[in-house]
Structure 1
Amino acid sequence: MANSPQSRPLLALSLRLLAVVCLSTMAMLVKLGGDHGVHLFEIMFWRQFITVPLILAWLFFHRQLFLLKTPQFGAHIRRAGLGVFGMSLMFGSFLVLPLAEATTLNFTVPLFATLLSMVMLKEHIGLWRWSALAMGFAGVIVITQPGSGHLPALGAALGLGSAFLMALLSIYIKDLNRSDHPLTIVFWFAALGAPLTALSLPFVMTPHDGTTWALLIATGLAGTAAQLLLTLALRFGEVSSVIVMDYTGLIWATLYGALIWNHLPPAATWFGAPLIIGAGLIIIWREHALSRAHTLGVTQP
């Protein structure tokens, strides 16, 4: 295995910031594709299918095709199935909800990851993280306002469901990272996920004009660029350091929503989003502190 590259925090933050721009752009393109009448499953297919030749070209150019070998092919199959389901929920939330609200609900991933680590990994959750969970889910209630009709119930369910599955996937990916390169994980998710979504094409695919094809291709390109940038960011910085850039996605989602759909988030979103973001930052800080304490052999409450 190649030696780890030198830590370059500013480069890592810049790459993560660019990745968030690409992810936000992909979300915007998914929503535009839906506006053009493209079925959710077809959007998912092209998002995955376009990634495969691009990753292969990347690996070939860098003489790293050996990275396609994996000792955990069965785990990749399970991850692909779960990932396709999670992607369907996420893309569905983009189609049903305004981008800013869908993006904000996606910020609950660290909250669900904390709960899952307690249930599945038997981790002890202290006062800091319990407080963050309470604050974060209070933000969810403020934004969704259950029973008020403020947000479509289906959209809120899709957004929160996708966040839960993304948190669950993070545990799978953490395990895969012990044996596989990040690009290996990205490639096999796309290579296995594309055939799964292709099964639906005979039932959902319709003729498209040039603009719609451009949107579908751009969706795949934006998604692949985001995956590569996320991978590169983690080569030069720690997850706990670069993940804070993810919250800038709300800026892009709000901007796209205003410019394309003439939608600005209501007051409930502006009150709830800081609670969710603040909760995520507390969890990130606490995880970083616990990791440092573990490295130094210090016990923390």
Structure 2
Amino acid sequence: MSPLRGIALKLTSVVLFTIMASLIKASSAHVPTGEAVFFRSFFAMPVIVAWLAMRGDLKTGLKAKNPVLHVWRGLIGVTAMGCGFAALGLLPLPEVTALGFAAPMLTVLLAALLLGERLRLFRLSAVVLGLVGVCIVLWPRLTLDSVDDAAMLGVALVLASAVMRALAQIQIRRMVAVEETSAIVFYFSLTATGFSLLTLPFGWVVPDAHVLAMLVGAGLIGGVAQIFITSAYRFAGAAVVAPFDYASILFAILFGYVFFDEVPTVMVLVGSAIVIAAGGIIIWRERQLGIQRGKARPNMTPQG
């Protein structure tokens, strides 16, 4: 174990995922969401296959013991990705990132409902605190005299993405009992690519060279980021590296300001701080309880 190396890998993955989200956001006005999902998934596969080959895990990575589980994981994950990508075109990057932090809170609730995990008062209080933070981020959208329909659609999409990401984590927790992590990573990209092709009849376009470069770059960077985040958990425990997910809000604020002229509101900053605090409490409590989810967490990211 090398905690510092694990933290460095995790922070690098967070930066890469934020770059990926920025590229998707920049291309959102030029290509439909389903097409963006295709490029993100398809061009991540060569990177993942090369990584599995280098590790000597290609054989296990291509072996699916229960294909149906992978199909469901792909369907849930691609829905989360699609909703998140669509939201990026409608809301500021920091706001999408902050609202996406609802996913870990929802995972705790869904684990209690679907997996029978005991939801103690301490964790339940942290979940409630986190959801209060999400409501603070949302509050300006809910109290404006003239409601921006596009922005409200963006809010609905990012919250739907958070719910689906939480469901994906529940599915992964079920899968790790019978499937290798390498197989889960590979077949998610494969099934996501396949499902995204179903949107082809709904208006795909031929992107120009600049947009094409952004889409291909998003896929390649997303694949590399997935490798970094998976590798991070090989060098340090989940309780050590998981809190660094929340560094994404800092990079989202920086990238949003530099590339999209987006300045986060005070409500977004306050709500994000509360959600981060709640997430930290949950991570600390799970460490205290000895809950081991190191195999499931590597497949989770702020972007889904």
Both structures adopt the same fold (TM-score exceeding 0.5): yes
Moved more, 17-26 or 130-139: 130-139
Moved more, 200-209 or 64-73: 200-209
CA distance in 2 between counterparts of 1:29 and 1:120 reads 35
- Alignment match, 1:76: 70
1:54 equivalent to 2:47? Answer yes
- Alignment match, 2:4: 10
What TM-score do you get using the length of structure 2 for normalisation? 0.89
Match of 2:33 among 26, 40, 46: 40
CA distance in 2 between counterparts of 1:171 and 1:202 reads 31
Match of 1:91 among 85, 89, 107: 85
Report deviation, 1:183.
2.2
1:212 equivalent to 2:195? Answer no
- Alignment match, 1:102: 96
Equivalent position SS for 1:147 = helix
Match of 1:137 among 105, 109, 131: 131
Equivalent position SS for 2:290 = helix
Match of 1:148 among 143, 147, 156: 143
What TM-score do you get using the length of structure 1 for normalisation? 0.90
Q: Give structure 2 stretches of 5+ with no counterpart.
A: 293-304
- Alignment match, 1:3: none
Equivalent position SS for 2:177 = coil
- Alignment match, 1:167: 166
**Alpha-carbon contact 1:111-1:280 (below 8 Å) kept:** yes
Report deviation, 1:202.
4.1
Equivalent position SS for 1:76 = helix
- Alignment match, 1:269: 268
Identical positions, percent: 34
Change (3 A) 1:160 1:292: closer
**Alpha-carbon contact 1:108-1:280 (below 8 Å) kept:** no
**Alpha-carbon contact 1:41-1:204 (below 8 Å) kept:** no
CA distance in 2 between counterparts of 1:16 and 1:219 reads 18
**Alpha-carbon contact 1:26-1:222 (below 8 Å) kept:** yes
Report deviation, 1:118.
1.6
CA distance in 1 between counterparts of 2:156 and 2:165 reads 14
Moved more, 140-149 or 18-27: 140-149
Change (3 A) 1:32 1:236: same
1:201 equivalent to 2:194? Answer no
- Alignment match, 1:188: 187
CA distance in 1 between counterparts of 2:54 and 2:290 reads 36
Equivalent position SS for 1:96 = coil
Report deviation, 1:80.
0.7
CA distance in 2 between counterparts of 1:292 and 1:23 reads 26
CA distance in 2 between counterparts of 1:64 and 1:147 reads 49
CA distance in 1 between counterparts of 2:124 and 2:223 reads 35
CA distance in 1 between counterparts of 2:75 and 2:270 reads 36
- Alignment match, 1:259: 258
CA distance in 2 between counterparts of 1:95 and 1:222 reads 19
Alignment-mate amino acid for residue 105 of structure 1: L
Report deviation, 1:62.
3.6
- Alignment match, 1:299: none
Alignment-mate amino acid for residue 126 of structure 1: R
Alignment-mate amino acid for residue 188 of structure 1: Y
Match of 2:17 among 13, 16, 23: 23
1:247 equivalent to 2:246? Answer yes
Report deviation, 1:181.
2.6
Change (3 A) 1:270 1:61: closer
Report deviation, 1:203.
3.3
- Alignment match, 1:278: 277
Equivalent position SS for 2:89 = helix
Alignment-mate amino acid for residue 170 of structure 2: I
Cα RMSD for the two superposed structures: 1.7
Equivalent position SS for 2:143 = coil
CA distance in 2 between counterparts of 1:198 and 1:125 reads 39
